[in-house]
Structure 1
Amino acid sequence: MSAGAIDATLVGELSRIVGEAHVLTDPEITAGYVVDWTRRFAGSTPLVVRPGDTAETAAVMSVLAAARVAVVPQGGNTGLVGGSVPLGGEAVLSMRRLNVCEPVDELATQVTLGAGVTLADAQAHVAASDLSVGVDLAARDSATIGGMVATNAGGINVLRYGAMRAQVVGIEAVLADGTVVSHLAGLEKDNTGYDLGSLLAGSEGTLGIITRVRLRLHPTQPERATALLAFESAADAVRAAAALRRSVASLHALEAVFEGAMALVSSHLGLAPPVGSLANDGAGNSDGGAAWLIAEAAARTDPSDELGTAVTELDDLVVDAAVALEPAARQRLWAFRENVTEAISAAGIPHKLDVTLPAARLAEFTDGVEAVITAVDPEAQPLLFGHLGDGNVHVNVLGPGGAEPADEVDGAVLRYVAEMGGSISAEHGIGTAKLAELHLNRTEAELAAFGAIKRALDPAGLLNPNVLLP
């Protein structure tokens, strides 16, 4: 049976497992599950199932596997590469009801969370124990822990704590046939074979459906100092970022906004950046090469002297700087970074190309990528921002009037990245958007190994069959 051949018998069997209210077949109700956050990727589904725990998830998968129904696991549906929507008419398995936050293990500084717990809820839950989740990102109110692990999400604190894979110390998941694998002890030393948590992290739902995750936590760093620094060029910003990483032990985030994106977000907010200047036409368009860095230090005691000294030592690299210590003032600086994605989305439907470059090629890339894009689509508008502390640049491209740019833009940018020794996906994953370019970063032998792992855990190819693997 294909996903398009769902019948009343199957629906009834699933309803007995999860309850009739959690088996959705009405297209008007399922419509919210078939379009991704960017609005670029949209599909269709005959069926959405919402299990409430691991046992229900396993029972649902047993039924769907027996019926040969392909499945797309879905968390908060905040993905940006088409990996969380049913592009081939698959059934959707929504994990949002798996939203239990278990008690914090304060001795181990760990917590076990249901896959459907949002990042914001996880952060609030562990904050009562003076602890924090290592990964933070702007979609915290919607992004779920299971989805973040499945995509190995990164965000703004990777330079200090690593991406989501580095936070996982235990995992529970349901395989394609309904088998449950569970290893949640969270032992820091556990050398007993394959690390299933690391394997499932970044697998984009192709190997198993994550139901519970045990995360390592980090001591809260309550004292913050935030600086917004303006530079004349990307090269100056890259040199400054390297210097700050070496000199500021408490560095917590190091975010970049390049001139086109800064012009757009400033227009969106109706505010000029407090430092530096924009050579734009007042409508969010800019041709300059300037760059801005948000550098934030976080510690148990006031880190402002450490950050301030490091900024002073940057000498002539910095055109201008603003430093904030109070939460409201710090948030005003962060607004120019955290609202960039919203500003781009308000302007149209972008192609989002999330890439990593070697530090030595970062400035060359940010200076050269616009020519690569306009050679393919002369009317396209590149908008760059990202996590400069770990080499991650988010290349967003809008067509004229907010339309999508030419499809060929994606391949041209990703080939340019690969030629520079970079990765075509820093943190968003491959999804559907980058399937055709995966070979740029992975050898034939690696792709064959990927396929062998997929066949071993999902021989019928039922789990997210249209993503990651060519």
Structure 2
Amino acid sequence: MDRERLVRHLSAAVGAAHVLTDPALKASYESDFTGRHTGRARCVVRPADTAEVAAVLRLCHAAGVPVLPQGGNTGLVGGSVPGPDGDEVVLSLRRLTGIGPLDPDARRITVGAGVPLAELHRRLRPRGWDFAVDLAARDSATLGGMIATNAGGERVVKYGTTRANVAGLEAVLSDGSVLDRLAGLPKDNTGYDLTDLLVGSEGTLAVVTRARLRLVPRPAHRATALLALGSLAAAVGVLARLRLLDSLELAEFFTADGLALVLEQSGLPAPFRTAHPVYLLVECAGRRDPSEELAEALDGADVRDDVRDVAVALDAPDRRRLAAYRERHTESINAVGIPLKLDVTVPLAVLPDFVAELPALLAGRARPYLFGHLAEGNLHVNLLDVAAADEEAVTEAVLRRVAAVGGSISAEHGIGRAKARHLHLTRSAADIAVMRSIKAALDPDRLLSPHTLLPPGP
């Protein structure tokens, strides 16, 4: 089927207004928000519901045309951006924005893949409920994209990653067949767990269209603290004490360099009178006011722990002010350059040494800004001023070091296109062979996200 004929059939399936072929209209779907990953799409198709997604996939399957599912396009590894050859159809799921009724007895809600995380929070929180996963890109990140990449975000320390908060899924296979596992029953031992299989599969096995999500009661009280510390090792030590609190929901760290950049770009006032090497942002929440137990835990941290200053916030505006010092890192870094972003996990015991060794590893080829989710050892390595000729060598050096200390080359953004050739560093040949077998079983023609996740090869 030629290009023009396929566009006509797709237009009949979803409406001509939702098949984009004009380069100006396609542009925002062909580049990620950093501008580092760009490509060309054959066209962009924007279906409105599961039936239209299935129709699009049947047409593309019949034509042998690859399809790239895309959510909010907030990823960092090129997994939702087309390649340079212009062959792929970008399947945007942003119109799948339905939100079903809240089921408080089951603590569940069903949502469309295109629902932004912030919209779900706005819908649930006034009613006393919450979806426990949260992240800084909440206004643009969609639930479908978060499920595809098994996003983690800020509250993994208490609630786990997206996978732990998904009870069921509806998804469409590459040939247009629909899988319905939306029931989300707490006990269902009828064979393979297809929901768990699809979470984190990065659009390579099926296109998620709806999800049945687990909810938690919205905590009535919150307390936030920003700690200034002498070292990352000190932050790890203080965290060990804070993790004894059942109310701990968040533990984020950043460094003096990152804070200086945030202050410069945002105009925010400095949180303390003097600068300090490392900062730890923590938040506790519960049905009762957690401020007293947080204060007791912090009182146990003294000069021996290298805690140099503490700011505590109880009301919402002050808590948001403290959170901004961490959450505005990404926009501040992007404002001064296009960073090479390496999202990795390092065992907590070796994280301080890993960070200390990073400048020598980079050998002057990059200017690093580091921040992340401390409790999980999730380090966001943002590298500026990397020459194009050095990008591959810098990436290889950092990821090999991560693998050498027993870490993972991807913590929460997936493998995408950018890291596919590095997958072997932290997944064995047997692992990759099994993944290839699953891909071949569900997508034998390799039409769904064909260049994502799995390394090139047979």
- Partner residue in 1 for 2:341: 352
Question: Which residue of the other structure, out of 374, 387, 392, is the alignment partner of 1:388?
Answer: 374
**Sequence identity percentage:** 54
Residue 466, structure 1, aligned to residue 451, structure 2: yes
Moved runs in structure 1, 4+ residues, more than 2 A?
Answer: 269-273, 275-279, 402-407
Matches within 5 A, 1:311-390: 311-316=298-303, 317=305, 318-373=307-362, 375=363, 378-390=364-376
Structure 2: 5+ residue stretches without partners: none
Structure 1 residue 435, shift from structure 2 partner: 1.3
Check whether the contact 2:348–2:375 (CA below 8 A) recurs between aligned residues. Answer: no
Structure 1 residue 379, shift from structure 2 partner: 4.5
Q: With structure 1 as the length reference, what TM-score do the two structures score?
A: 0.93
Residue 270, structure 1, aligned to residue 259, structure 2: no
CA distance in 2, matches of 1:292, 1:405: 30
Cα displacement string for residues 299-346 of structure 1 (whole angstroms, at most 9, x for unaligned residues):
112110011110111122211111111111111111110100010110
CA distance in 1, matches of 2:376, 2:51: 39
Paired residue type of 1:409:
V
Question: Which residue of the other structure, out of 43, 46, 63, is the alignment partner of 1:47?
Answer: 43
Residue 12, structure 1, aligned to residue 8, structure 2: yes
CA distance in 1, matches of 2:111, 2:361: 43
Structure 1 residue 404, shift from structure 2 partner: 9.5
Check whether the contact 2:203–2:448 (CA below 8 A) recurs between aligned residues. Answer: yes
Check whether the contact 2:154–2:250 (CA below 8 A) recurs between aligned residues. Answer: yes
Question: Which residue of the other structure, out of 269, 294, 303, is the alignment partner of 2:281?
Answer: 294
Cα 1:406–1:63 shift into 2, 3 Å: closer
- Partner residue in 2 for 1:32: 28
Question: Which residue of the other structure, out of 305, 320, 330, is the alignment partner of 2:292?
Answer: 305
Question: Which residue of the other structure, out of 19, 26, 37, is the alignment partner of 1:23?
Answer: 19
CA distance in 2, matches of 1:26, 1:271: 40
Structure 1 residue 406, shift from structure 2 partner: 3.1
Residue 80, structure 1, aligned to residue 76, structure 2: yes
Matches within 5 A, 1:384-423: 384-399=370-385, 406-423=391-408
- Partner residue in 2 for 1:169: 167
Check whether the contact 1:350–1:403 (CA below 8 A) recurs between aligned residues. Answer: no
Residue 429, structure 1, aligned to residue 429, structure 2: no
Q: With structure 2 as the length reference, what TM-score do the two structures score?
A: 0.96
Check whether the contact 1:258–1:292 (CA below 8 A) recurs between aligned residues. Answer: yes
- Partner residue in 2 for 1:285: none
Partner SS, residue 407 of structure 1: helix
- Partner residue in 1 for 2:214: 216
Cα displacement string for residues 352-398 of structure 1 (whole angstroms, at most 9, x for unaligned residues):
1111111211111111112211x2xx141110000001111101100
Matches within 5 A, 1:112-123: 112-123=110-121
Paired residue type of 1:418:
A
- Partner residue in 2 for 1:184: 182
Q: 340-349 or 266-275: which moved more? A: 266-275
CA distance in 2, matches of 1:421, 1:440: 10
- Partner residue in 1 for 2:147: 149
Check whether the contact 1:47–1:92 (CA below 8 A) recurs between aligned residues. Answer: yes
Paired residue type of 2:217:
P
- Partner residue in 1 for 2:53: 57
Check whether the contact 2:365–2:394 (CA below 8 A) recurs between aligned residues. Answer: no
Cα 1:302–1:456 shift into 2, 3 Å: same
